[in-house]
Amino acid sequence: MKATQYVARQAGPDGIIHYSAEEDAIWQTLIERQLACVAGRACDEYMAGLTRLQLPREGIPQLGDINRVLEPATGWRVSRVPALISFDHFFELLADRRFPVATFIRSRQELDYLQEPDIFHEIFGHCPLLTNPAFARFTHTYGRLGLAANPQDRIFLARLYWFTVEFGLLDTPTGRRIYGGGILSSPGETHYAFESPKPEFRPFNILDVLRTPYRIDIMQPIYYVLDSIDDLFHIAEMDIMAKVNEAKALGLFAPTFPPKQQQAS
């Protein structure tokens, strides 16, 4: 795990996390900006989940309020975690239908992008779709597979998560729509995915996804596109680990991005 400047907030004796006025103001800035950004671009299933969650605009929601919606919908809950957690803990949580949420919010200096997933990314980006049975089933299956996988196989599984849960797109009868939380929580990535001529959009093929390198610190050069959110049911029913073994035998595609510059020591 890499170091982080952020520290997750803990609940007080009353069970409530008391955020500062500045933290609540940052949440309001982020949610109002991103609601305008995803309008007409987010998939219908995400927007339905957002309606069910009724996220407040004026301040950071409490995790218990999220759980009161998620649990009766799909059996999922959110769980408070530190700013960064191990892969083992991450997979344990998903396998138990608990979605990790780091209870800190980014600073104004990193309003547009930060590498650590903060509470805005997790709650706004992912939780609305956890009300959807297909997305919930896929995420649970992914957690169970990751928990049992060896470190090398987890690297291949990470690509599946990246190109679906984080940066997935749909081609719907009404146009291209977002379901990936990494896009839904980022104004830059949202505009890039819809307005830039640079990215390549490929039909989802699980072998291709498992063989595609990515970087977390750049706009995505490749997006994989499903026809429907219900396709996640079909993917969850595949023998995904057999596909991982096949991808390992075939090897990775050549990266479509430049290598990351090493910082001078």
Burial class (CB in 10 A: 0-12, 13-18, 19+), 196: exposed
- Beta-bridge partner residues of 176: 171
Report the alpha-carbon distance of residue 171 to residue 93 in Å, rounded.
30
Domain limits of the chain? 21-250
Which residues sit opposite 202 in a β-bridge? 224
What's the pLDDT score for residue 74?
Answer: 98
* pLDDT in the model for residue 2: 61
CA distance 175 to 194: 11
Q: What is the pLDDT of residue 8?
A: 94
- Quick check: 179 and 229 in contact, CB under 8 A? yes
Confidence of residue 115 (pLDDT cuts 50, 70, 90): confident
Contacts of 185 by beta carbon, 8 Å cutoff, 6+ apart = 34, 120, 121, 124, 125
Q: What is the pLDDT, as a whole number, of residue 262?
A: 55
Q: In which band, very low, low, confident or very high, does the pLDDT at 93 lie, cut at 50, 70 and 90?
A: very high
pLDDT of residue 264: 41
Does position 265 have pLDDT exceeding 60, yes or no?
Answer: no
- Nearest 5°: the CA angle 18, 24, 26 is 140
Q: What is the pLDDT of residues 185-221, one digit of tens each?
A: 999 999 999 999 999 999 999 999 999 999 999 999 9
Q: What is the pLDDT of residues 119-142, one digit of tens each?
A: 999 999 999 999 999 999 999 999
**pLDDT for 151-163, tens place per residue?**
999 999 999 999 9
Predicted pLDDT of residue 207: 98
| Residue 238 pLDDT grade (very low, low, confident, very high; cuts 50, 70, 90) | very high
Q: State which fold the 21-250 domain adopts.
A: Phenylalanine Hydroxylase (1.10.800)
Q: Residues forming the annotated binding site for Fe cation?
A: 121, 126, 166
- Helix, strand, coil percentages for the chain (3-state, nearest 5): 50, 10, 40
Nearest-angstrom CA–CA distance, 161 and 85 = 16
CB 126 within 8 A of CB 186: no
How many CB atoms are closer than 10 A to CB 183? 27
- Known binding site: residues? 121, 126, 166
